[in-house]
Structure 1
Amino acid sequence: MYSLFRKEITSFFGSLTGYLVAFVFLIANGLFLWVFPGTYNLIENGYASLSPYFQLAPWIFLFLIPALTMRLFAEEKRLGTLEILITRPYSLLQLVWAKYLAGLFLVVVCLLPTLVYFYSIYSLGNPVGNWDSGAAWGSFIGLFLLAALYVALGVLASSLTDNPVFAFITALILCFIFYSGFDFVAAMEVPMVVKTFFLNMGISEHYDSVSRGVVDSRDVLYFVLVTGIVLVLTSLFLRRKQQNLKRQLKKTGFLVAVVIVVMFIGSAWFFRIDLTTEKRYSLSTVSKTLLEKLDAPIKVDLYLAGDLPPGFRQLQRAVEEKVQDMDAWADFRIQSVRKDPYDISNNDERNKLFNQLVNLGLQPTDLRQNKEEGTVTKLIFPGAVLRYRDQLVGINLLKNNPSLSADENLNNSIETLEFELMNAIRQVEQGDKEEVAFLSGQDELGDPETWDIRQGLSENYTVVDRTAEQLFQNDTLPKALIIADPSKAFGEQEKFYIDQYLMRGGNLLWLFDPVQVSLDSLSRGETTIAFPRDLNLMDQLFKYGVRVNPDLLQDVECVLIPVNTSPVASQPKFTPAPWYYSPLLTPAEDNVISRNLNRLKSEFVSSIDTVGKNPEIRKSVILHTSAYSRKIGTPEQISLQSINDPPAQELFHMSNIPVGVLLEGSFPSVFSNRMTREFNPLGIDVLDKSEPAKQIVLADGSLIANKVSRRNGQVRTQPLGYDEYSQQTFGNKAFLLNAVNYLCDNSGIMELRSRVFKIRLLDKVRLREEKTFWQVLNVVLPLLIIVVFGLVFHFVRIRKYRG
């Protein structure tokens, strides 16, 4: 067997044909990956990743491996030496294995020079070495398994004929069918059982997983079993003249039955090893639990499709990979399908689809690309639609924080993919919606002012209005209570019911202003006085662990407002000026509620201090000012004229002043050891300590208020966080939705937002200055390695036979 193996190696490298095949393979890889512009170009991709190489490899292998294997048996048949080999003292299966291992060794020899790409990406990382080596080596395992199966198919094709060219064509067709043919069948309108069967039969379904650096026992089992089957079939074909057809069919049927049983067992008991540094392809326990509850397939229509720049292609691939991870753990099929709206040639039909996507909550964005014909702008939807039974849920995939770079925004989008997808699944899977209540009775913001946040909450919750007393008039308590900018002081009865709601595990979201400012006076250009507002809440919040201070904050990072800067009696000329009393608040990056969010627009915000050392209460700052802010005591005179006489910059010496705090744990009751009969007409039991509960305190009631205009009896609302002057929408709505989701989350799904992936980019400066060097290195050096290998090989042979 070893002599046959050595004979094939010697024959391959002893002829010019072998080196020509290796050269063609390496040149094709080098040009596509380093020179030719397009999807597979590693330089254009901009990321310190070899994923384009592993995406390209199956297609290059389609031609390389048939060329390497076409002579293995066909040449023996053509020369009449196969009969001589069969008479040797080893079985046909041993003969097949010798030829197979020789072919696999030849592929490995062709692959080894491509390790130069690994060195190049490592060196070009920003900084050097900033790449995921675990993912790369894991992907190489997938590439080896793919090559092993391709070689087996090539050996089979070579055993069917005595014509090497025909063997090459047959092997190419077989490899193509196994890689993509089954997928074409699965893409047809066939039952899901049939679709799943054909997908599992195809190579791409298994290679796509392993090529990311995820070793799934089911994928490894597939490659090992199918490779073994093909090799056994090859030996049966070679033996067909020695055995009758009935006996061969019986052996083949038995073999297939054994393989099916083994694959079924392997599918029931499997393991996955995520070799990536950050375990980015591992699902959390929360996600697995949620997927186990599904009782029907899920389809994800991905509208991030078409001709996209590298960053969007990275996001597109990340979505598809995350769907694959979900499918690996679900009992029912979960698949993603790319859908490019611009494939619809009819403008009316395309606009109809755009309207449907907007109605599902997807946010469009303009994509500008520089092409040969100039700058091309088109509207794209960086989102997806999840379909489960007859339910549709829109998912916005792109996180767009104007204060971050495009690469950071894309990375943040990839970090939150699991949360976004699992949150959508939770929406379609959950039964009765939990109740979230807005407190009423204290002159809080009305429906028009909270319309946008109510619409957002209604997707997951039943939104109701309750007075403090009404909280206890139903059989069940609301999951969360939102106190939205009250202006009337709380009585002891209202405080008591809110306190006892908290004691029973209720969750509170406080948004109120401890300082009162007359906005009407300011809008008329008049001077107003900011003075403390007594809502009679300070003692209650102090008991829970926070103090909301009756001060005002100014911040250099603030909203810009138009100011008339033209002289008196001349044409008005409006220019933007900073309004320091409207800080752009920064969400904390170390909390699942607030990380990866845009800044929040605020208006006359105050500071918050945490107080007390109760070990049963955890306190986290989730919202704060920028690094350049200051506090102003009240009462304070406020006028728009202060814009013309701004405070000195050195006064803004305070940084990250807390304005939003999360409290978690068991809270003491404000009414412990107090007589409560007079403000407890319902006669509820008074609890002195709460069950585990959560509170969020925000020192600005305007954070939850959307702008409302009333004209001619019509009420018009603007999106929450929208700024008319800059025409951008800040992160108020996303932050508050996350806040409520966190308060109501018992499953831990919000923890999925805590995942952090490192940005791994190529050094753009080095690429710009050294691009030609790296292109030449990665195209020429692999060829030189083969040349050196050939020279050494021939030198050793000459020396051996001369001796």
Structure 2
Amino acid sequence: MKKIIISLIVIIAALVLINYGASKWYERFDLTKDQRYTLSPVATQLAESVESTMLIDVFLDGELPPEFRKLQSETQQLLEEYAAINKNIKFNFVNPTEDESIEAVEQITMRLAQYGIKPAMATIMEGGKSTKVVVFPWAIMVYNGKTTAVPLLKTVARATMEERVNSSIQELEYQFADGMSKVINEKSKTIAVLRDSGELSDLQIRDFIKTLQQYYRVAPFGIEFVKDNDSVTPVDVLNQLKKFDLIIEPKPTVAFSETKNYIIDQYIMNGGKMLLAADPIIFENDSLANPQSIGYGMPRDLNLDNLLFKYGLRLNNGIVKDERAGGLALATGQGRNTQYEAFDWPYYPISKSDSDNPITKNLEVVKFEYTGTIDTLKNNIKKTVLLSTSPDTQIKILPAAISLSELDQPIDPLATKVGEKPLAVLAEGSFTSAYKNRIKPFEITKTVDNGKESAIVLIADGDVMKNQIDAGKAQELGYDIRTGVLYGNKEFLMNTVNYLLDDTGLIQLRSKNITVPFLNLKKSYDERTKWQLINVLLPLVAVAIFGLVFNYMRRKKYSF
């Protein structure tokens, strides 16, 4: 009896010590194969930097379809990891439309829209019947007076809801880390958007600029204006430009002067970065607005050849015609019966990279319009093709006729195909000045011929940066109003800017691959009786067999 009491005391003492230790030292173990519940160093660092209460409301509660329940579960697991790192991070799941009337739901939807939150329609399958429900796959993050919306569901072109959720789960850590970055970090890097060579209008690049301003300080900048201002010298302009970490050139349409080229050249020689979306082709959709529905693509001379050639790049003005294409919406019918129907338009090539480059990994397709191509030339600069055409590509030499009748004419299989051609290229390294051993447009006290480490991204289409406009309002970059497809243009450009500004931590989170298993709803419904019987009867049968065997062994052991 004494031994039993001692053993009991030891067990109780051990349990008390274990519970005390567990309350003081908390540890979680991620035993999943893909380490989905292990936060990256970037996300961990952001979580640790939260110094006061951060509130996160997740709008995924109530009755949800299976796909969204999976998204809810994964979101909760992730937020528990964040909260385990820092107790200042608080989260809860709410249903914004619970027990609300239709009018109240509409008001809630309008209030959430102020934060950019849009509802999604989902289907609940029950008993072989489907019901449409409104879901808000978003979270709102509040910290130190700052508020930001965190999207939890990606828009993936031509994908099922299951595929969208799977893709979204892979980016959950990125989305929450991105939200934390917005409300925690102060803007430090600066970007100059060039506005002096007939670039896209402010309204046409509004969504891109608005998104950039969430992370960086952005300002318009004019180089060519020096020609009209006697009080400002090119050297003054160059010195001002050097204060920016990155320059963005959104679809110039007027040829660069040698002064502008030299200022850009010396900016790059001093370590400045550049994102250049140059359109070497003159053609817009309104060129097809004639009785014949025929327009002519013409070459555009931007006076960039010498500058780019020295950097190991060449912009070609042959127009791409690709079988892998985005949709062109055309009006069909007459009067009140007019509808828009999307047709694959070979002059709208779409591109998706399968590489592991942080700029393009896990990126949705990017849409180009009437684009040229890029050649890479051998020199000491490292070149990386970010996006390219499909193997089934033809190049039409300019000037070239472009007709809507080509919608009904598939690319001739016997025609010469040039294979994959670069559409966007990253060049990085120590560039050599394009004006080395050449006459300079103006004198600089300290001309740099062999530059510091720098990087340039060249895109062969300026329309990649252009958002569509509806009723005078800029739409989300990459969103096609007529077809309803959201392309990955904004994500590509933001990744590019992040990379050029050495802000690569968040980009790396996109490379995290997570495999998400889903239940086959049709199969589970068809076979539910079988599995119900198995789950109910199998344990009973197992217990009965165990009882029979146990009794048999017991009788055998104690029989005389």
Query: TM bucket by the smaller chain?
Result: 0.7 to 0.9
**In the alignment, residue 449 of structure 1 is paired with which amino acid?**
Q
Q: Per-residue displacement from partner, 1:656-710 (whole Å, max 9, x unpaired)?
A: 432122333433332344454x4345x455251222x332221111111123478
**In the alignment, residue 33 of structure 2 is paired with which amino acid?**
T
1:606 to 2:372 alignment? yes
Q: Per-residue displacement from partner, 1:755-790 (whole Å, max 9, x unpaired)?
A: 112243467787577655444334333333333333
**Alignment: residue pair count:** 545
1:335 to 2:104 alignment? no
**Within 5 A, what are the aligned runs for 1:618-657?**
619-626=383-390, 628-643=392-407, 647-648=411-412, 651=415, 653=417, 656-657=420-421
**Within 5 A, what are the aligned runs for 1:155-174?**
none
SS at match of 1:438: strand
Cα 1:573–1:696 change in 2 (3 A) is closer
**In the alignment, residue 308 of structure 1 is paired with which amino acid?**
L
Mapped to 2, the partners of 1:575 and 1:749 lie a distance apart of 38
2:226 alignment partner in structure 1: none
For the Cα contact (< 8 Å) 2:58–2:139, is it kept in 1?
yes
Q: Per-residue displacement from partner, 1:136-186 (whole Å, max 9, x unpaired)?
A: xxxxxxxxxxxxxxxx9xxxxxxxxxxxxxxxxxxxxxxxxxxxxxxxxxx
Mapped to 2, the partners of 1:796 and 1:373 lie a distance apart of 49
1:506 alignment partner in structure 2: 272
Cα 1:652–1:578 change in 2 (3 A) is farther
Mapped to 2, the partners of 1:371 and 1:772 lie a distance apart of 15
Mapped to 2, the partners of 1:675 and 1:696 lie a distance apart of 27
**Within 5 A, what are the aligned runs for 1:269-668?**
272-330=28-86, 332-345=87-100, 347=102, 349-371=104-126, 375-468=130-223, 472-474=238-240, 477-517=243-283, 519-525=285-291, 527-556=294-323, 557-562=325-330, 576-588=342-354, 590-612=356-378, 614=380, 617=382, 619-626=383-390, 628-643=392-407, 647-648=411-412, 651=415, 653=417, 656-668=420-432
1:695 alignment partner in structure 2: 456
- TM-score normalised per structure 2: 0.86
Mapped to 2, the partners of 1:664 and 1:295 lie a distance apart of 37
- TM-score normalised per structure 1: 0.62
Cα 1:293–1:731 change in 2 (3 A) is same
Mapped to 2, the partners of 1:587 and 1:774 lie a distance apart of 42
Mapped to 1, the partners of 2:326 and 2:392 lie a distance apart of 10
Cα 1:344–1:738 change in 2 (3 A) is farther
For the Cα contact (< 8 Å) 2:156–2:486, is it kept in 1?
no
Superposition deviation, residue 453 in structure 1: 1.2
For the Cα contact (< 8 Å) 1:561–1:579, is it kept in 2?
no
**In the alignment, residue 257 of structure 2 is paired with which amino acid?**
G
For the Cα contact (< 8 Å) 1:286–1:747, is it kept in 2?
no
Match of 2:5 among 86, 92, 112: 92
Mapped to 2, the partners of 1:652 and 1:599 lie a distance apart of 25
SS at match of 1:436: strand
Cα 1:650–1:722 change in 2 (3 A) is farther
Q: Per-residue displacement from partner, 1:268-299 (whole Å, max 9, x unpaired)?
A: xx6x5421111111111222222222211222
SS at match of 2:211: helix
Mapped to 1, the partners of 2:264 and 2:189 lie a distance apart of 19
Superposition deviation, residue 584 in structure 1: 3.0
Cα 1:573–1:502 change in 2 (3 A) is closer
Mapped to 1, the partners of 2:104 and 2:518 lie a distance apart of 39
Mapped to 2, the partners of 1:394 and 1:551 lie a distance apart of 42
Cα 1:747–1:548 change in 2 (3 A) is closer
**In the alignment, residue 390 of structure 1 is paired with which amino acid?**
G
For the Cα contact (< 8 Å) 1:324–1:335, is it kept in 2?
no
For the Cα contact (< 8 Å) 1:513–1:605, is it kept in 2?
yes
Cα 1:779–1:644 change in 2 (3 A) is closer
**In the alignment, residue 25 of structure 2 is paired with which amino acid?**
G
Mapped to 2, the partners of 1:404 and 1:709 lie a distance apart of 25
Q: Which runs of 5+ in 2 are unaligned?
A: 224-233
Q: Which runs of 5+ in 1 are unaligned?
A: 1-87, 101-151, 153-224, 230-254
Superposition deviation, residue 458 in structure 1: 1.6
Mapped to 1, the partners of 2:212 and 2:144 lie a distance apart of 22
**In the alignment, residue 452 of structure 2 is paired with which amino acid?**
S
SS at match of 2:547: helix
**In the alignment, residue 491 of structure 2 is paired with which amino acid?**
A
Q: Which segment drifts farther, 488-497 or 590-599?
A: 590-599
Superposition deviation, residue 372 in structure 1: 6.5
Task: Name whichever structure is richer in strand by fraction.
Answer: 2
Superposition deviation, residue 305 in structure 1: 2.1
Superposition deviation, residue 512 in structure 1: 1.2
SS at match of 2:249: strand
**In the alignment, residue 318 of structure 2 is paired with which amino acid?**
D
Match of 1:671 among 416, 424, 435: 435
Name the % identity.
30
Mapped to 1, the partners of 2:414 and 2:159 lie a distance apart of 26
Mapped to 2, the partners of 1:572 and 1:418 lie a distance apart of 44
Q: Per-residue displacement from partner, 1:465-487 (whole Å, max 9, x unpaired)?
A: 11346764449632321110001
2:227 alignment partner in structure 1: none
For the Cα contact (< 8 Å) 1:559–1:582, is it kept in 2?
yes
**In the alignment, residue 505 of structure 2 is paired with which amino acid?**
G
Cα 1:518–1:296 change in 2 (3 A) is closer
Mapped to 1, the partners of 2:467 and 2:534 lie a distance apart of 58
Mapped to 1, the partners of 2:241 and 2:282 lie a distance apart of 37
**In the alignment, residue 275 of structure 1 is paired with which amino acid?**
L
For the Cα contact (< 8 Å) 2:143–2:183, is it kept in 1?
yes
For the Cα contact (< 8 Å) 2:358–2:507, is it kept in 1?
yes
Q: Which segment drifts farther, 313-322 or 530-539?
A: 530-539
Superposition deviation, residue 419 in structure 1: 0.9
Cα 1:299–1:717 change in 2 (3 A) is closer
Mapped to 2, the partners of 1:744 and 1:522 lie a distance apart of 40
Mapped to 2, the partners of 1:764 and 1:670 lie a distance apart of 62
Mapped to 2, the partners of 1:576 and 1:606 lie a distance apart of 23
**In the alignment, residue 15 of structure 2 is paired with which amino acid?**
G
SS at match of 1:228: helix
Mapped to 2, the partners of 1:529 and 1:709 lie a distance apart of 26
**In the alignment, residue 299 of structure 2 is paired with which amino acid?**
P
For the Cα contact (< 8 Å) 2:241–2:267, is it kept in 1?
no
For the Cα contact (< 8 Å) 1:324–1:334, is it kept in 2?
no
Cα 1:498–1:316 change in 2 (3 A) is same
Cα 1:763–1:380 change in 2 (3 A) is closer
Superposition deviation, residue 344 in structure 1: 5.0
Cα 1:346–1:325 change in 2 (3 A) is same
SS at match of 1:666: strand
Q: Per-residue displacement from partner, 1:215-254 (whole Å, max 9, x unpaired)?
A: xxxxxxxxxx9x712xxxxxxxxxxxxxxxxxxxxxxxxx
